[in-house]
Structure 1
């Protein structure tokens, strides 16, 4: 009986071109979301000031389109692909007769280190550290049945969010009374507003040191926010949907799964659009009204409904992308994004570096001043340049620079970086 081969990084020829292109597509949406909310400082502005930026008709339309089609949908898709990638790595490790656990733990540990460095040294909105922490929990599901996995998806998307939301909303009232609970909620909200104002002031400074100190302080203050457990539950649920899709080879064998993908497309976009429409109507209806100190009962349930809508819409996007990718013209157009997907970690970190320079006071100083439409255009311009750079880089190298560091630290040795001029791997790519 042959000995199990050790796990190692996959070769270029083993990559699934569709998954790379879809990851590049998701990265674009994530970048737009990060730009219009956090990099631009919109999430840090007082509500009245943020609404003033959206007052022109063009900005109102762009804001509505962003909320309808982009907000949280692409980060959902990105998380789904993380879980699917885990399934893919697990199946390849099993084919080699190796265990995925030791390598994957090291892989997550390195990702956690990269994420924490990114969060405290560059940008507070890091998602890598959260993915790494939740990834350790994902390992517990590697041998669970599909039924168990999907049951946990329902629990994580519906049951736990509702329980946590209602506990956060009504628990203080039951324990301390309505008046005391309202006072505590106002204190918490005022503290959060003060933290955001301090961060915006720091980012507006013309000193790099002041900006990054404010960033690190805000990151530390928000490590244990009350909403973080709910956020991590949602991310784990997205990972598990990706794990299930990977087991079904949903995006590896599109032809065999064409009927299922069409159903996912129909239900995903159908449910996602219905929820997005309801959310948009409620937002327009309540625009200009003061924010209540404590969320109203319908708001608690609406938060859970929105997460379900994000999941369905994200899956609908994945199915539409996969089906379009099977057409010759679709593959030619969408395949342009594949190198960006292969270098997603490098481009994600580059986006933070470039955006900090674009928006912070020591750079071009756009933070808190740029309307949403211009942030979107700026994001599209930066990402277009990144796609070109990714094509040029991967014409010579096997990995992006950050991916090379990640793999080298994971396997404890420097990975071969350059592509041989006549290697089969390059020919396959």
Structure 2
């Protein structure tokens, strides 16, 4: 098998675990008002099952699954460009054509299916990351850490400024300009009951109403998402490129190295996160504290645990390389694009008003039963499909559009 055609079980299976994990992260955003993702006190309830579901998600899922996906996107960027060059194709033309159509898919996903899209973000940041693909692994890691540190400081200052606003409002007293500004900020983070009811009603309305809302009220949000997440997404892509180049993601390190890295990163990450989770619970999910702990203070742990998960999963993949279930996960990873967008269609059909209309009515803990069912669907369809076809349905469409040529789909018998 040549470098231009070689597949890595590690990369395919990692991508499969990542696309399954993304649903664990997104399920609350599919089914409840947007800010319920931040705090169960905003929506969804704080009884013990829901509280534990939130805590487990905060500690083990939040940001880390997107981290896995982003690392792997960076690795795939290098792999695709290397394969293009090995076949005598222009890597730049191949890459930017792919990013253009990924951006188109992302905008369609955002406006016509679900607002939580990451494809447009990946297309824009991936276009920047392309110019770093030839850096050595050590430089990618070093500069990625610099950018990530800048992002962490920037996010912490931005969300931390709300503590100053809180102090100013308390000092100025009720009715003051500072108090009014503080209340406006609180209403944005933790909307009052009337606003939450209106949001639920919107997502239980018809498809045309939702589409009109997206096109008129959220038309600039994809670019806002790019700006807000660039200093996390770009470093994660750089780390993915580096870990592909140095053999980490393709399973070339020694078992001892993976074990040591997993122990260090996961233990430190949890040691940093656990006090934050407990603090939020004991504060009754005080709004400003919770926003800071979820969005900015968790960033160091997010990076550490993403790397730790990669190390653990590579060991699992190597240990069970011949297991049929592992190969089903790898198949889900080979059609990750179809699984990602297909999940959005399935979940909006389940929760939104133009579908079955369960939005806002399923408990946080019960949502993970739905996650397990959808995982089963991913594992059931992906492998049989790939036994007959070269690509997933959306992978085929993306590839055909990017190459301006219909790709051969069926596997020759």
For this structure pair, what is the TM-score category when the shorter chain's length is used for normalisation? 0.7 to 0.9
Identify which of 232, 243, 247 aligns with 1:245: 243
- Coordinate RMSD, CA, aligned: 3.1
1:403–1:185 distance in 2 versus 1, CA, 3 Å? farther
1:39–1:92 distance in 2 versus 1, CA, 3 Å? same
Deviation (angstroms), 1:156? 2.2
Deviation (angstroms), 1:10? 6.1
Aligned to 1:327: 319
Structural mapping, 1:28-427, within 5 Å: 28-36=20-28, 38-44=29-35, 50=41, 53-166=44-157, 169-170=160-161, 183-184=180-181, 186-190=183-187, 193=191, 198-205=198-205, 207-220=206-219, 222-223=221-222, 225=224, 229-252=227-250, 254-289=251-286, 291-292=287-288, 303-328=295-320, 331-421=323-413
Q: What's the CA shift string for 1:151-205, capped at 9, x where partnerless?
A: 222222222331354256559989xx98766644543554574887654321112
Structure 2 unpaired stretches of 5+? none
Q: Distance in 1 between matches of 2:53 and 2:244?
A: 35
- Provide the aligned length of Structure 1 versus Structure 2: 400
Give yes or no for contact 2:41–2:285 (8 Å, CA) kept in 1: no
Q: Distance in 1 between matches of 2:158 and 2:367?
A: 37
Q: What's the CA shift string for 1:257-281, capped at 9, x where partnerless?
A: 4343223212221122212212211
Give yes or no for contact 1:203–1:211 (8 Å, CA) kept in 2: yes
If the length of structure 2 is used for normalisation, what is the TM-score? 0.86
Q: Distance in 2 between matches of 1:248 and 1:48?
A: 39
If the length of structure 1 is used for normalisation, what is the TM-score? 0.83
Q: Distance in 1 between matches of 2:74 and 2:133?
A: 11
Q: What's the CA shift string for 1:201-259, capped at 9, x where partnerless?
A: 21112x2222333344453253454x75341210111101101001112122x244434
1:54–1:190 distance in 2 versus 1, CA, 3 Å? closer
1:105–1:185 distance in 2 versus 1, CA, 3 Å? farther
Q: What's the CA shift string for 1:113-170, capped at 9, x where partnerless?
A: 0000110011111110000000011012122333432222222222233135425655
Deviation (angstroms), 1:399? 0.4
Three-state SS of the structure 2 residue aligned to 1:25 is helix
Q: Distance in 2 between matches of 1:168 and 1:35?
A: 25
Three-state SS of the structure 2 residue aligned to 1:53 is coil
1:300–1:368 distance in 2 versus 1, CA, 3 Å? closer
